Amino acid sequence: MFKLQENNTNVKTELIAGFTTFMTMVYIIVVNPIILKDAGVPFEQVFTATVIATVIGTLWMALAANYPIAIAPGMGLNAYFAYSVVGSHGGITYQTAFSAVFVAGIIFIILSLTKFRKVLIEAIPDNIKHGITAGIGLFIAFIGLRQSNLIVSHPENLVQLGDLHSPVVLLTLLGLTVTLVLMALRVNGAFFFGMIVTGIVALLTGQLSFDKGFIEIPKLPEGLIIANPITAFTDVFQHSLYAVVFSFLLVTIFDTTGTMIGVAEQAGLMKGNKFPRARQALLSDSIGSTLGSMFGTTPTTAFLESTSGVAAGGRTGLTTLTVSILFIIAAFFGPLVSAVSGLSAITAPALIIVGSLMIGAVAKIKWGEIDEAFPAFIIILSMPLTSSIATGIALGFISYPILKLATGNWRQIHPILYVFGILFLIQLVFLPH
């Protein structure tokens, strides 16, 4: 079913890769509820909805597309939902805001069923794809550095080196060293074993504890937030939430598409300029977004942290099937998951190392041609600095057509790039992002 031999992998490798991906992304079932709680959504509701959306999207990716790319509610859009949408536009409630997410999800499914997103992937120039891969690499490494306090905020320089005497920093450096040494020795499952060693040391040094117990039954105190699809569309029209729907749709399309390209390239799954089984893969996040909104969570996206599983050897849907099963189990171990995912030193080393692996894509960029090099460069630079994959892609899509027009090479690119260059310019200048 998963064609393990054809993809040069085996069951053990895929299971370890799935566990690695799970460990690096499981924080979302704690962080997402914390953010949406500020919008008034009950913590237990979002916790369970996050698990449901993740399992649905990731299972679809595993069984229909056979890719090691996990799906879960994306960071950034949850903050946009909680702090920019809810309470604005005439004081709308979170229930009405979820209607906008649902409508965006339905449109997303329709687009994914057509050739639109597949054409979009194939229309993106190679140098832009390499820039996206490298930019995601820097972004994910920066996340790891920030989460572990190896890099901290600075009032003038924005960031600076953290306190090297801090227990969390020391634990991160230990995990980083152990994992790198195991990788250098070509030990299978280096990420997994690095996390285990770090977790044991954290437990022995008192940095990891399980004061709140281990097991808790998942709850949906609000039930189905969107039980009637017609009401959802009515809410959008009644409150004129067109810009909100557009923002959710545009950001999710390119966030997911960019991440999928980056992960697929890293795993060697792109066939030339083609993305095999693109429709099946692209349906996973649109279905996850739509159904997730009905239970009470924001749009899903292909998760950056999937790169850690790919780096651990994951190449097929067996990796993401493992992730799905672990998330189902995690739903019943909320306190345990919260404790482990709350200690960034356990997962940060994997993110930092994955970033170093993905940055290698810069070697494939045509640096001698400014109309090809600069759009890739601005993508790479802006993703970590703006903490947004979609913003990085937007700047690349805006600058690429401009430079091609200026150099007289406008026929070289697909017309769809001009359309999205204009749309991204409108979104960045006039809409929330």
Write out pLDDT tens, residues 223-265: 999 999 999 999 998 888 887 887 788 777 777 777 888 888 8
210 half-sphere exposure, CB direction, 13 A CA radius: 12
Residue 232 lies in a domain: yes
Q: Which residue has the higher pLDDT, 178 or 265?
A: 178
Residue 270 has pLDDT above 80, yes or no: no
Tell me what pLDDT residue 273 has. Answer: 67
Tell me what pLDDT residue 375 has. Answer: 95
Q: Show the domain range for 321.
A: 11-356+368-430
- CA-nearest of 358, 314, 267 to 19 is 314
Residue 74 lies in a domain: yes
Q: Which residue has the higher pLDDT, 121 or 113?
A: 113
H or E element at residue 327: helix 317-330
Average pLDDT rounded to a whole number, residues 84-109: 86
CA distances to 122, 368, 371, 429 from 412, in Å: 13, 17, 11, 27
- CA-nearest of 1, 129, 140 to 65 is 1
Residue 361 lies in a domain: no
Residue 382 lies in a domain: yes
How far apart, in whole angstroms, are the C-alpha atoms of residue 123 and residue 377? Answer: 19
Tell me what pLDDT residue 411 has. Answer: 84
Q: Which of 154-163, 183-192, 400-409 has the highest mean pLDDT?
A: 400-409
Q: What is the pLDDT of residues 31-87, one digit of tens each?
A: 788 778 888 998 889 999 999 999 999 999 999 999 999 999 987 678 778 877 887
Torsion sign over Cα 102, 104, 105, 110: positive
Residue 25 has pLDDT above 70, yes or no: yes
Q: At 356, phi and psi to the nearest 5?
A: -65, -30
How far apart, in whole angstroms, are the C-alpha atoms of residue 164 and residue 274? Answer: 45
Residue 5 lies in a domain: no
**Taking all residues of the chain, what is their mean pLDDT, rounded to a whole number?**
86
What is the share, in percent, of the chain residues with pLDDT greater than 70?
A: 97
Tell me what pLDDT residue 344 has. Answer: 81
Average pLDDT rounded to a whole number, residues 99-127: 85
Residue 103 lies in a domain: yes
Residue 428 has pLDDT above 90, yes or no: no
Task: Give the three-state DSSP class for 300.
Answer: strand
What total number of domains does the chain contain?
Answer: 1
Residue 279 lies in a domain: yes
pTM: 0.73
Residue 340 lies in a domain: yes
